[in-house]
């Protein structure tokens, strides 16, 4: 599947090791991750040469092209919240993953859309089977 992985950049990159494990896992299972660059610790620096409009146009094109979104939502992020809403409005299934102990916005936990799924996890070993189950159900 073509998968759009979404994660916080501007507000903090503490989830980057988990995102790297997620992207590696998805690619090993034969999925194409459109946002694979987000796995890199220097993802923001890599995009620094692009204008804000270019980032917006590239990412919204990928969101329209993808078959599913896997969003890491433990760290609050304007961009991730926007991407989740943009994808849901276009009929894409979205999995919002968060560390079990963090508090997540009620604008995500309260979303009644049948396309929106939440996954609480302890670590990558706990999360990855949940991601596999989410994608296989599509």
Ligand X SMILES: O=c1[nH]c(=O)n([C@H]2C[C@H](O)[C@@H](COP(=O)(O)O)O2)cc1CO
59 binds ligand X (CB under 6 A): yes
Q: Least CB distance from residue 113 to ligand X, whole Å? A: 19
Contact 111, 88 (CB under 8 A): yes
- Answer whether 94's CB lies under 8 Å from 84's CB: yes
CA angle 42, 43, 47 (to 5 degrees): 120
Q: Which is nearer to ligand X, 74 or 77 (CB)?
A: 77
In a 13 Å sphere around the CA of 16, the CA atoms on its Cβ side amount to: 14
Q: CB-wise, 47 or 132, nearer to ligand X?
A: 47
Q: Which region among 19-27, 79-87, 92-100, 114-122 touches ligand X (by CB under 6 A)?
A: 79-87
Which residues contact ligand X (rule: CB under 6 A)?
6-11, 44, 47, 55, 59, 77-80, 83
């Amino acid at each position: 599947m073509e998968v759009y992985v979404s994660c916080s950049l501007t507000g903090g990159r503490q989830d980057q090791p988990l995102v790297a494990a997620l992207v590696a896992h998805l690619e090993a299972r034969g999925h194409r991750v459109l946002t694979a660059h987000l796995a890199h610790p220097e993802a923001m620096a890599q995009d620094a040469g692009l204008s804000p409009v270019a980032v917006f146009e590239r990412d919204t094109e990928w969101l329209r092209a993808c078959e599913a979104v896997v969003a890491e939502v433990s760290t609050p992020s304007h961009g991730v919240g926007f991407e989740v809403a943009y994808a849901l409005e276009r009929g894409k299934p979205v999995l919002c993953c968060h560390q079990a102990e963090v508090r997540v916005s009620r604008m995500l936990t309260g979303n009644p859309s049948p396309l929106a799924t939440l996954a609480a996890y302890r670590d990558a070993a706990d999360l990855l089977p949940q991601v596999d189950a989410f994608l296989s159900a599509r």
